[in-house]
Copies of this chain bind each other. A is one copy, B any other.
Amino acid sequence: MARALKVESRPGRYGSFGGQFVAPVLLPVLDRLEAGFHSAWGDPAFHAELTHLLNRFVGRPTPLFDIPAFPSRPGGARIVLKRDDLTFNGGNYANSAVGQCLLARRMGLSAVVTDTGSGQNGIATAAVAARFGMRCTIYMGARDAAAQPQAVKKMRLFGAKLEIVEDADRALSSATSAAIRHWMGHSDTDAYVAGAPIGPHPYPEMVAAFQQVIGKETRLQLVEGGVLPSAVLSAVGGGSSTVGLFSSFVSDPSIRLIAVEAAGSGESGAPNSARLSQGRRGIFHGAETLVLADAEGQILAANSIAPGLAYPGSAPQLADLVSRGRVETMTATDAEAQRAVRRLAETEGVLICLEAGHALAAAEHVARTMEPHEAVVVMTPSSGDKDIDILWQDA
Q: Are B388 and A349 in contact (CB under 8 A)?
A: no
Q: Check: A385 CB closer than 8 A to any chain B CB.
A: yes
What 9 A-B pairs have minimum CB-CB distances, sorted nearest first? A127-B349, A130-B349, A153-B392, A131-B349, A159-B346, A157-B345, A153-B388, A150-B388, A158-B345
Q: Report the minimum CB–CB distance from A85 to chain B (whole Å).
A: 8
Q: Are A158 and B349 in contact (CB under 8 A)?
A: yes
Q: Check: A129 CB closer than 8 A to any chain B CB.
A: yes
The closest CB in chain B to the CB of A126 belongs to: B349
On chain B, the residues within 8 Å of A158 by CB distance are: 345-346, 349, 351
Total interface residues in chain A, CB < 8 Å: 40
Taken residue by residue from 122 to 141, chain A's Cβ proximity to chain B (1 for < 8 Å, 0 otherwise) reads as 00001111110100000000
The closest CB in chain B to the CB of A87 belongs to: B86
Inter-chain CA distance A63–B385, complex, in Å, is 22
Inter-chain CA distance A158–B350, complex, in Å, is 8
Q: Which of A86-135 contact B (CB under 8 A)?
A: 86, 88-89, 126-131, 133
Given contacts A130-B345, A149-B395, A154-B388, could you give 17 more A-B pairs where the C-beta distance is less than 8 Å?
Answer: A57-B349, A59-B86, A127-B350, A129-B349, A130-B346, A130-B347, A131-B348, A150-B389, A153-B395, A154-B385, A157-B351, A157-B392, A158-B345, A158-B346, A158-B349, A158-B351, A385-B385
The closest CB in chain B to the CB of A56 belongs to: B63
Inter-chain CA distance A59–B61, complex, in Å, is 11
On chain B, the residues within 8 Å of A152 by CB distance are: 395
On chain B, the residues within 8 Å of A216 by CB distance are: none
Taken residue by residue from 250 to 280, chain A's Cβ proximity to chain B (1 for < 8 Å, 0 otherwise) reads as 0000000000000000000000000000000
Q: Are B157 and A346 in contact (CB under 8 A)?
A: yes
Q: Are B56 and A65 in contact (CB under 8 A)?
A: yes
Q: Check: A220 CB closer than 8 A to any chain B CB.
A: no
Q: Check: A391 CB closer than 8 A to any chain B CB.
A: yes
Inter-chain CA distance A394–B395, complex, in Å, is 23
Q: Check: A326 CB closer than 8 A to any chain B CB.
A: no
Copies of chain A in the complex: 2
The closest CB in chain B to the CB of A65 belongs to: B56
Q: Check: A342 CB closer than 8 A to any chain B CB.
A: yes
Among A129, A154, A157, A384, the most chain B Cβ lie within 10 Å of the Cβ of A157
Q: Are B349 and A150 in contact (CB under 8 A)?
A: no
| A contacts, CB < 8 Å to B | 56-57, 59, 63, 65, 69, 86, 88-89, 126-131, 133, 149-150, 152-154, 156-159, 342, 345-351, 384-385, 388-389, 391-392, 395
Q: Are B130 and A385 in contact (CB under 8 A)?
A: no
Q: Are A349 and B385 in contact (CB under 8 A)?
A: no
Q: Are B86 and A88 in contact (CB under 8 A)?
A: yes
Inter-chain CA distance A348–B152, complex, in Å, is 18
On chain B, the residues within 8 Å of A129 by CB distance are: 349
Q: Report the minimum CB–CB distance from A225 to chain B (whole Å).
A: 12
On chain B, the residues within 8 Å of A384 by CB distance are: 157
The closest CB in chain B to the CB of A347 belongs to: B130
Inter-chain CA distance A154–B388, complex, in Å, is 7
Inter-chain CA distance A349–B97, complex, in Å, is 12
**Of B89, B153, B346, which one neighbours A391 at CB under 8 angstroms?**
B153
A-B pairs with beta carbons under 8 Å apart, 27 shown:
A59-B86, A69-B131, A89-B351, A127-B351, A128-B349, A129-B349, A130-B348, A130-B349, A131-B348, A131-B350, A150-B150, A150-B389, A153-B388, A153-B391, A153-B392, A154-B388, A154-B392, A156-B392, A157-B342, A157-B351, A157-B388, A157-B392, A158-B345, A158-B346, A158-B349, A158-B351, A385-B385
On chain B, the residues within 8 Å of A159 by CB distance are: 345-346
Inter-chain CA distance A89–B347, complex, in Å, is 15
